[in-house]
Amino acid sequence: MRIAFTTQQAKGAMPNGTRIVKVKTEKGDANPVGTKGVIVGSLGHPSLADIGYFVKWDSAPDIPMVVLSWKIAREQ
């Protein structure tokens, strides 16, 4: 599946610019729990129960990556 990058914000999403931390992971994820980054865009759809966030991780700040909302939390 191919997802087009966007800097738009999905309805109900955390705002662009929000600092986040990875709190859950699954096999094949590129970033481990504890990795920090910033939200630069989000996608959602009324038929889906989740929001996909485009995140620039601190470890790779030039490459926005998609991560689902259940894997991240606001950085404290």
Q: Is the pTM of this model over 0.85?
A: yes
pLDDT digits (tens, 9 = 90+) for 12-68: 899 999 999 999 999 999 999 999 999 999 998 777 778 999 999 999 988 999 999
Determine the Cα–Cα distance for residues 76 and 72; give it in Å rounded to an integer: 12
Burial letters for 38-59: b for 16+ Cβ neighbours within 10 Å, e otherwise?
bbbbbbbeeeeeebbbbbbbee
Neighbours of 3 (CB within 10 A): 9
Judged by phi (left if over 0) then psi (alpha if -120 to 50, else beta), residue 57 lies in beta
pLDDT value, residue 1: 54
Confidence category of residue 5, pLDDT binned at 50, 70, 90: confident
